[in-house]
Amino acid sequence: MRTDKNNMEPSLFVIFGATGDLSRRKLLPALARLDESSQLHERFNILAVGRYCLDENDFRATVRDALQAAGISAERSLSFVARIHYQPIFEGNDGDYQELAQRLTELDKLFDIPHNHAFYLALPPQALSSTVAGLAAAKLNRNGQGWTRLVVEKPFGRDFISARALNKLIHEHFDESQIYRIDHYLGKTTVQNLLVFRLANAFIESSWNRDRIDAVQITVGEEIGVDRRGEYYNSTGALRDMVQNHLTQLLTLVAMDTPASFSADAIHNEKIKVLNSIRPITTANAILGQYTAGKMRGKAIKGYLQESGIPADSQTETFIALKLYIDSWRWQGVPFYLRTGKRMPHKLSQIAVRFREAPIKFFEQYGCAGATSNVLIINLQPDEGFSFFFSIKRPGTTLGLERIPLRFQYADHFNGGIPDSYQALLLDILIGDQSLFVHWKEVEESWRIYTPVIDHPQKVNLYPAGTWGPMEANVFSISECALEMGCKTCA
Question: Would you tell me which residues interact with ligand BG6 (CB under 6 A)?
Answer: 184, 222, 241, 349
The distance of closest approach from Cβ of residue 100 to ligand BG6 in the complex, given in angstroms and rounded to an integer, is 28
Alpha carbon distance 489, 200 (integer Å):
30
The distance of closest approach from Cβ of residue 114 to ligand BG6 in the complex, given in angstroms and rounded to an integer, is 34
Quick one: three-class SS letters along 116-172?
Answer: CEEEEECCCHHHHHHHHHHHHHCCCCCCCCCCEEEEECCCCCCCHHHHHHHHHHHHH
Least Cα distance to 448 among 281, 326, 256 occurs for 281
The distance of closest approach from Cβ of residue 223 to ligand BG6 in the complex, given in angstroms and rounded to an integer, is 10
Q: Residue 151 or residue 215: which is nearer to ligand BG6 going by CB?
A: 151
Q: Residue 241 or residue 384: which is nearer to ligand BG6 going by CB?
A: 241
Task: Point out the catalytic residue in the list 85, 246, 268, 439.
Answer: 246
Closest residue to ligand BG6, judged by C-beta, is: 241
Q: What are the C-alpha distances in Å from 377 to residues 2, 267, 374, 383, 390?
A: 26, 24, 10, 11, 11
The distance of closest approach from Cβ of residue 377 to ligand BG6 in the complex, given in angstroms and rounded to an integer, is 17
Angle at 14 between CA 9 and CA 19, to 5 degrees: 140
The distance of closest approach from Cβ of residue 349 to ligand BG6 in the complex, given in angstroms and rounded to an integer, is 6
Residue 311: Cβ within 10 Å count: 10
The distance of closest approach from Cβ of residue 460 to ligand BG6 in the complex, given in angstroms and rounded to an integer, is 18
Q: Residue 107 or residue 344: which is nearer to ligand BG6 going by CB?
A: 344
CA 267 remoteness from chain centre: 17
Q: Residue 35 or residue 222: which is nearer to ligand BG6 going by CB?
A: 222
Alpha carbon distance 450, 158 (integer Å):
11
Q: Residue 96 or residue 428: which is nearer to ligand BG6 going by CB?
A: 428
CA atoms within 13 A on the CB side of 450: 28
Least Cα distance to 437 among 276, 268, 272 occurs for 268
In this structure, are residues 457 and 285 in contact, taking their beta carbons and an 8 Å threshold? no
The DSSP letter of residue 26 is I
Burial classification of residue 157, based on how many CB atoms lie within 10 Å of its CB (0-12 exposed, 13-18 middle, 19 or more buried)? buried
Q: Residue 276 or residue 381: which is nearer to ligand BG6 going by CB?
A: 381
246 is an active site residue: yes
The DSSP letter of residue 329 is T
Least Cα distance to 425 among 98, 108, 30, 42 occurs for 30
Q: Which residues are catalytic?
A: 246
